[in-house]
Amino acid sequence: MTEIAARRLRAQRLLGDPFASAVDAVRWLGAVQSQDYGAAKWALAQRTAGATDAGLDRLFDEGGILRTHVMRPTWHFVLPEDIGWLLELTSPRLQAQLASRHRQLELDAATKLRALDLFAESLSGRFLTRAELGEVLIAANISPEGQRLPHLIGTAEAEGVIVSGPRRGKQFTYALLEERAPRVRRLQREEALAELTSRYFRSHGPAQIQDFAWWSGLTVRDIKTGLALVGTTLEHHSLDSKDYWLDPQSAGDGKPPLTAHLLPNFDEFTVAYRDREAVLHPEFAFDPTFFSYYREAAPQGGILSNVVTIGGTVRGAWRRTLAANGVRVDVWLLGPLTAAEVAAVERAAEQFGSFLGRPAELHLFDGAPRR
């Protein structure tokens, strides 16, 4: 399994030559889970030369990278050039899966259509926050209470009506997709299947069909069609009775590198696979006690939270604390580190400090964080 993790590091560009821009990183990965906006920026920065927190904020506000609900019912960073065909390929199934919930919320077709028209009218030439979109609904006698507003906004995103706008202070806004991305790329369904299949296995391989199904929201039947369409551009390998696909040029060899990463919440290296066994080090498996404390250190819990990896396998948890003149990085270890591994974690902390524009102060702790 360490071979798989090492190859994924290279495919995801957490190892090797970084991208010249975050736009290139998003294009390579296809989409980047981003409901934790700050974490998603750090995920891109670890794959991009010289990326900073402030620089990625500017890129997002300018619309160089968009944020919307696509593939799975959560936010992703996508490029303006890709958002059209990604929505057309994946949103119908996502919306079908939400149909039961919409009935519970009394969101019938007429109500959703009316809401989409109101959003389109109110956003023409301007940007509005979620609360302001709720006020638009109230003025038209449509209740935004409970989960109705987020589901109506999600429907508008899935239908390609609205998308992220620039931030207003600490608040996020919405914009019309046609104004934010006036030149979206359109693909026929088979072209889109082939494109997404190629991108996923090129940038995330070695990966299994079940991994791609989880990540994309596509059916297994669609994925098998996609694999047939891309043909021999991908290699098929069997390991421990599991079938993997990968692009050998992007994945490289399987030698585990002595490289540490402070991965953020929902990094593509952990969240993009249904089978996450490859990132669990055989000598440092999580135990229940560590997990219970670990959730205290990283509220999301589990390996989808802030984890420390060395050579692509999880070796601990981490948390940041901002101070006036720097950032403190606390790391809780699953087991002892060699001197070389400690040095690798120190370099990862320094990189995080550079990303934030603050000097980093690293603190290592053995075992789980204490209450």
The secondary structure of 133-184 as a DSSP string is: HHHHHHHTT---TTTHHHHHHHHHHHTTSEEE---BTTB-EEEEHHHH-TT-
- Please, which residues have CB within 8 angstroms of residue 328's CB and are 6 or more apart in sequence? 320, 321, 322, 360, 361, 363
What is the rounded CA–CA span in Å between residue 59 and residue 41? Answer: 11
CA distance 84 to 41: 22
Q: Which residue(s) pair with 246 in the sheet? A: 235
Which residue from 299, 277, 297, 281 is spatially nearest to 337, judged by alpha carbons?
A: 281
Is residue 150 assigned to a domain? yes
**Phi, psi at 27, each rounded to 5°:** -60, -45
- Kindly state whether residues 163 and 68 are assigned to the same domain: yes
CATH number of the domain residue 326 falls in = 3.30.70
Q: Is residue 103 part of a domain?
A: yes
State which of 180, 206, 232 marks the end of a domain. 180
Domain boundary among 154, 180, 206: 180
pLDDT for the residue 112? 98
Residue type, 294: Y
Q: Looking at the domain assignment, is residue 7 inside a domain?
A: no
32-33/75-78 β-pairing = antiparallel
Q: At what angle do helices 109-123 and 148-158 cross, to 10 degrees?
A: 70
CA gap 349, 351 in Å, rounded: 5
pLDDT of the residue at 286: 53
**Segments in 217-304 forming alpha helices (H):** 220-230, 248-251, 268-271, 288-297
Q: Are residues 150 and 281 in the same domain?
A: no
In a domain, 307, yes or no: yes
- Pick from 156, 159, 164, 165: nearest CA to 136: 156
Residue ranges of the chain whose pLDDT lies below 70: 1, 284-301, 368-371
Buried b or exposed e, range 83-118, using 16+ CB within 10 angstroms: bbbbbbbbbeebbeebeeebeebebeeebbebbbeb
Residue 247 in any domain: the answer is: no
Strands 32-33 and 66-69: unpaired
User: Which residues 6+ apart lie within 8 Å of 317 measured at CB?
Assistant: 294, 297, 298, 305, 306, 307, 308, 331, 332, 369
* Residue of 99, 85, 71, 93 lying closest to 271 (CA atoms): 71
Q: For the chain, what is the largest distance between any 2 Cα atoms, rounded to a whole number of angstroms?
A: 65
Same-domain check for residues 165 and 45? yes
Assess if residue 204 is contained within a domain: no
Number of domains in the chain: 2
CA 192, CA 316: separation in Å to the nearest integer? 38
Q: Which of 180, 202, 220 corresponds to the end of one domain?
A: 180
Cα 344 from Cα 350, distance rounded (Å)? 10
Tell me whether residue 32 is in a domain.
yes
The parent domain of residue 358 ranges over 260-366
- Please indicate, yes or no, whether residues 273 and 172 belong to a single structural domain of this protein: no
Amino acid at 103: R
**CB neighbour list of residue 167: distance below 8 Å, 6 or more residues apart:** 57, 60, 61, 173
Residues 28, 13 contacting (CB under 8 angstroms): yes
Instruction: Answer yes or no: do 171 and 268 share one domain.
Output: no
Question: Count of CB atoms within 10 A of residue 239's CB?
Answer: 13
Q: Where does the chain have alpha helices with state H?
A: 2-11, 22-29, 37-45, 53-61, 83-97, 99-104, 109-123, 130-139, 148-158, 177-180, 189-204, 209-216, 220-230, 248-251, 268-271, 288-297, 339-356
196 domain-assigned:
no
State how beta strands 173-176 and 242-246 pair.
unpaired
